[in-house]
Amino acid sequence: MDARRLSLLEGARELGCDSLVACTPENMFYMTGFWGEGMAVLDGDHATIVAPGLEAGRAEADSRDCTIVSAGRGAEMVPAVARLLEGAKPCTDCADYSTMLLLQKHMPHVRHAPGPFQDSRMVKDAEEIRTLQEASRIIDGMFELCAGTITPGQTESQLQAVLMSHAAEREMFDTGYPSTLNPLIVAGGPNGALPHAQVTGRRFGRGDLVVVDITLRYRGYVSDATRTFGVGHVSPERVKIYEIVREAQELGLRAAIHGVSCGDVDRACRDHIESRGYGRYFIHSTGHGVGLEVHEQPAISRSVDTILRRDMAVTVEPGIYVPGEAGVRIEDSIIVGQGSMHRYTRDLVVV
């Protein structure tokens, strides 16, 4: 049996369930290889995609080892799913309240339990790692483009346009991440002090630090990395802040190994920044899992005791944000046991 499906079933059985229903596109893709509108059913060693007629052809073409059942849209898919799982005890990731009520009406034993999906997806297989590595190489090329493109007088939105054109030509696209209106974070000067800054028409000025956070989807998978660039002469104080963040990230990258807790990785970064007097300016957790979603398990936070395992994909991204002045963030996506997937320098590049 496909290793992913076996892992999902094992997770379901630990909860007293015997099958799974995937409703989110991420989990359906993970289970079947198809990303689109529909529901995916895993019952024993057999997977079925229930999809509306307009998606059935693509589901057939994109999925692997699946039966395709054509149904109506939305709620009309639920009876078809129930017929496939008559008498079963499925668990589901369904997050839509009305759809969950319908599933419960047609399948009294269904259980809302996204855990098997979350747990299985934390450790990446060889195919997933290859895709993430390819995505990371594209992002490294975008940082090279930043170094050759950023100039005083250029606007944040102009740089974003250059980067997104480069990405689209390489089949890398927006993730639809809800915390920002823009596909990228390009934040110069005081805007860089906002971790989720919106891209504006502000022009880069000499002495600015420019935070460029690239989070894009490639063949289903998300790679996430950040570099901070300097424009013209950067003041000694801002160089100092940059170096503190660079040192903190290096400590975090060294700490992020098999058998270490997520909390310990966070503390490796946070303790260094606090020791240099900037602790109050590090205002988010150190990182997160990455894969089919921008933010997935595990969270790299001081309150999380999850133990890192080989082949997990996580980010390490400490930052310092001085309100009204500047921000610095340096971020790499890594594979636990293999290290960073990025080769672009973490030293301050001044353009």
Asked if residue 96 has pLDDT above 70, the reply is yes
Which residue in this structure is represented by tokens 């450790």?
Answer: 123
| pLDDT confidence of residue 179 | 75
285-291 mean pLDDT: 98
Domains of the chain, by residue range, sit at 3-120, 123-350
% the chain with pLDDT above 90: 95
What's the confidence (pLDDT) of residue 5? 97
pLDDT confidence bin for 45, thresholds 50/70/90: confident
Q: Label residues 46-60 b or e (16+ Cβ within 10 Å = b).
A: ebbbbbbeebbebbe
210/169 Cα distance (integer angstroms): 24
182 has pLDDT over 90: no
Note the pLDDT tens digit of each residue in 113-127: 999 999 999 999 999
3-120 to CATH, choices 3.40.50.12780, 3.40.50.300, 3.40.350.10, 3.10.180.10 = 3.40.350.10
Q: Which fold has domain 123-350?
A: Creatine Amidinohydrolase (3.90.230)
**Residue 300: pLDDT above 60?**
yes
Question: Rounded to whole angstroms, how far apart are CA atoms 132 and 334?
Answer: 9
User: For residues 351 and 75, which has the higher predicted lDDT (pLDDT)?
Assistant: 351
- What pLDDT does residue 310 have? 99
- Give the mean pLDDT of 205-214: 98
Report how many helices (DSSP H) and strands (DSSP E) the chain contains, helices first: 10, 18
pLDDT at 176: 81
Helix (H/G/I), strand (E/B), else coil: 113: coil
Instruction: DSSP letter for 166, please.
Output: H
Ranges 125-129, 172-176, 187-191, 218-222: which has the least confidence: 172-176
| Whole-number Å distance between alpha carbons of 144 and 160 | 14
Q: How confident is the model at residue 1 (pLDDT cuts 50, 70, 90)?
A: low
- Phi/psi at 51 (nearest 5 deg)? -140, 150
Q: Rounded to two decimals, what is the model's pTM?
A: 0.95
Question: What number is the average pLDDT over the span 333-338?
Answer: 98
Give start and end residues of each alpha helix (H) in 213-344: 236-255, 262-275
Q: What angle do CA 339, 344, 349 make, to 5 degrees?
A: 135
Cα–Cα nearest to 321, from 205, 223, 221, 228: 228
Query: Rounded mean pLDDT of the chain?
Result: 97
C-alpha to C-alpha distance for 65 and 77, rounded to whole angstroms = 20
